[in-house]
Structure 1
């Protein structure tokens, strides 16, 4: 096994009072290593991702590589084209449209509570989710692209507790399509801290029935995330263009 694979990162801690997680399995290390390589910009979207080449590159057998590719396909990090598997790079127009849809869906969970006095959030569920984020605040995980799954859980719970599961289903589908790009939002300590702080603030406002203030806080939070993601996505797109030009020489 390569040194690179042996030193692959672990998943973030899940909160305070928890013991250190055991070292990740071989399958998890292969997945994390390949995912980080894809997100670092070192892989061109024109490169076909094959089990054989990745197994040789990372000093692993084909079985964990095959499983890693299946997970990355489900994550939306890679896509299947006629020529095989490739890094997914959305167009700016597609990303902009999907973010608009995401914001519309998430805000709707709060606006329907403003429009209809009979709509109330499921407070016990929301308080349980809030406790999870208190845990992240007390033991902030290291920056990690995989933290996007924790972020998605928060937003899905916030929306689902408003009582319309159809909205939650639509958000899940939207998140899947932008997940690979949204992962760029969790690569620095300042963005991790900001995400945790803002999630706590939003949930506390909803629990206290301060819905108008929660609506504004949510709008600002998703907007800030969008700006970071678009900026980093632009850098990633430019890097892939440079790599493509180099390959064509």
Structure 2
């Protein structure tokens, strides 16, 4: 690492701003101006600008007509997105189960994904990488079901839910649970037990929905608290 192990300034600003966004320091109606943030973090505007660009790419800030603002999806929106996610992913499996003569899972895709997750069981990924791998697993399942439209729709859902999931990085225990559940789903599909895989998948997504909604609720409460303190 450059500077004898010192963290680059742009990285420190990025992680500080990301942490403060997660803590609700900035309310959704508060514009994230470069000058004010530079003063707040006692840096020049350049690392702030770079941090904001990364956070926008992460989906944690959004650009409006007046500038950049913290992104916070509404609780009802999150719930609806997870409902859509279950419909999309369940349909991928149901279409295979309904008529196996005309549609069947691409077992090679699933086998390759299973190998990936078995390797992750021995070498668990960091929390941020775990979320990326999780999205890939679910996208691959739909790709293996043979309907690219379902796969594309799921990609959109992932992108809209990702900001809240990113704010709540999974613990090592949750990563281990995720790995175990993914392996079980893939193994059931490879064994031809689509119904068991579908049930396991639905339970897996419902658990994620419960955690994400709880995290969003906490973020909302922090935002209201921060606003009350300011008022």
TM score, norm. by length of structure 1 = 0.80
SS state at 1:85 partner = strand
**Higher mean C-alpha displacement, 60-69 vs 237-246:** 60-69
Look up the match of 1:114: 97
1:153: how far off?
0.9
SS state at 1:209 partner = coil
Look up the match of 1:21: none
Look up the match of 1:209: 192
Look up the match of 2:83: 100
Q: 1:125 aligns with which of 106, 109, 113?
A: 109
Instruction: Check whether the contact 1:146–1:183 (CA below 8 A) recurs between aligned residues.
Output: no
Look up the match of 1:226: 209
1:141: how far off?
3.0
Instruction: Check whether the contact 1:184–1:229 (CA below 8 A) recurs between aligned residues.
Output: no
Per-residue Cα deviation, 1:126-181 (whole angstroms, up to 9, x for no partner)? 22222221122111234x34532221111111111111111111111111111111
1:71: how far off?
3.4
Structure 1 unaligned residues grouped into runs of 5+: 1-5, 8-24
Identify if the C-alpha distance between structure 1 residues 33 and 208 changes in structure 2 by more than 3 Å, giving closer, same or farther: farther
1:42 aligns with 2:19: no
Look up the match of 1:134: 118
Instruction: Check whether the contact 1:147–1:183 (CA below 8 A) recurs between aligned residues.
Output: no
1:120: how far off?
1.6
Look up the match of 1:161: 144
Look up the match of 2:55: 72
Identify if the C-alpha distance between structure 1 residues 244 and 201 changes in structure 2 by more than 3 Å, giving closer, same or farther: same
CA RMSD of aligned residues (A): 2.3
1:170 aligns with 2:141: no
Give distance in 2, aligned partners of 1:27 and 1:210.
49
TM score, norm. by length of structure 2 = 0.86
Give distance in 2, aligned partners of 1:47 and 1:218.
38
Instruction: Check whether the contact 2:139–2:155 (CA below 8 A) recurs between aligned residues.
Output: yes
**Higher mean C-alpha displacement, 217-226 vs 149-158:** 149-158
Residue-pair matches, total: 225
Higher relative contact order (CA 8 A, sep 6+): 2
Structure 2 unaligned residues grouped into runs of 5+: 1-5
